[in-house]
Structure 1
């Protein structure tokens, strides 16, 4: 079976935790066994998020007095692909006898996508309102509410094409586990001179759904920091959804900056492929794959 797994950036760095490297490496090590077990039994593609990590790099770049200009987001996404891919390769390599390869991946977006004028994608750490306002003033950034806190938001255009998907297919057929489209892929637009990077971060769940469709995946998993899709999340009435249809899931409303893209991604994949998708906790990866945990989405 061919399985595409989307790993949330907040699953690698729990919400509100300091963005030190050691907790992230430890978290990857904790879940590597389950991911490796899936990779040993199936053809597996891992698409990781990078919201906390790319936000940290952007903050460091903006504060570096030695730079004439901060590094643009597409360059920083490329950096996170190497960093997180390295962590995954090392951790999975301790459990697998077959190779794990990270592919530096470009994702084509539309230069006219209205998302460029309406930033919604959370990146970086959480702040209180005063901290957020000060960072917005100093760096001319946009912030939005993420639960009870504030986080930077950036443009997140829809993915149109994964440039290196053919390479990933070749690697999978050779028995190699592939880390693909990290952080949603490096956002690029098509020009007369070729591909050119743009200031954005592509949503990794939507990019993973596109990769799953283009690779002909049999199963698409979105693994994050919550056990299932919740209705009325954060209230006394919140309820975890078990097995649902695409139409039932699409009838509900979810926040654009967090669960919304995950729901959109699994619904898009299931509708187009006729195969199963699921959303749930990274720690429950094996049970979610087996269909006994998380929110299971069927045609």
Structure 2
């Protein structure tokens, strides 16, 4: 039996939930609880690639950099902070997943976390218009005061509070794609594209650093397409993509075609920087040859794979 390969983008709420202490112990405890759904998917005879966001973590690392300046410690740039968060979160997912696989008698499965770079175009217009939320949530008053002090840009993130936003260029290629493909062929469970990957651009025949944060759902789609994955699953904190989200007449989107979903985007149903990139990533994956793309929450992930829950984008 040939297994299907599915790329799964883990939702940030699987790692850290709003209002929780941002400690290593709390994040690892959350992952230990949340990782069972991934083990269940593996038990359904899927090969799995896991990706993850890094918004709260990279935001906190940036705050640590700012605090260090006062004691004479040089601050690291945003892309380096992203690399730090890849190591941190990848290690936590690896730890939680290996523990659970051992408990489920799947200890022969190897789990590998790969530091991943995403190629971007340094002339991408996103560098002139920051849109990607990172870091903690603030009240409107706190955001105004922070903007006054730092000149950083803050936006209302889908009604959940105000967050700092940074440039988020479109990923063109995952540079470690072939390495990841080989690991999957060997039967490894791969953790990659953390925080969307470390952004780099090509200049004079080599790669240069750029300061940005790549949307992890867009980068997951690029990786999934590169390595010919069968499916893409984007896990988030809601069971479906919705029309009129948060309103009395909100309506869950179930199985939907590319054409229908593109029409919903044109009609402005999805929040920029929140659900919109998830929907666009789902569309692009199916357009580029993927069989299906799913948007749902962890509680509905297994049912969604069976076509009984979530939003499923097909041709």
TM class by shorter chain equals over 0.9
- Structure 1: gaps of 5 or more residues: none
User: What does residue 136 of structure 1 align with?
Assistant: 147
Higher mean Cα deviation, 132-141 or 70-79?
A: 132-141
User: What does residue 70 of structure 1 align with?
Assistant: 75
User: How far did 1:284 drift?
Assistant: 2.4
| 2:187 maps to 1:184 | no
| 2:288 maps to 1:275 | no
Structure 1 distance, partners of 2:25, 2:242, is 30
Instruction: Report how many residues are paired.
Output: 299
User: What does residue 46 of structure 2 align with?
Assistant: 42
User: What does residue 85 of structure 2 align with?
Assistant: 80
On the 8 A contact 1:189/1:195 being kept in 2, the answer is yes
Task: Give deviations 1:236-290, integer Å, cap 9, x for gaps.
Answer: 1112111111111111121111000000000000111151110000232222222
Moved over 3 A (4+): 15-18
Mapping of residues 226-237 of structure 1, within 5 Å: 226-237=238-249
Secondary structure (helix, strand or coil) at the match of 2:28 reads helix
TM-score, with structure 2 as normaliser: 0.91
Mapping of residues 1-12 of structure 1, within 5 Å: 1-12=4-15
User: What does residue 19 of structure 1 align with?
Assistant: 22
Aligned pair partner of 2:184 in 145, 164, 172: 172
Structure 2 distance, partners of 1:91, 1:67, is 36
Secondary structure (helix, strand or coil) at the match of 2:130 reads coil
User: What does residue 250 of structure 2 align with?
Assistant: 238
User: What does residue 198 of structure 1 align with?
Assistant: 210
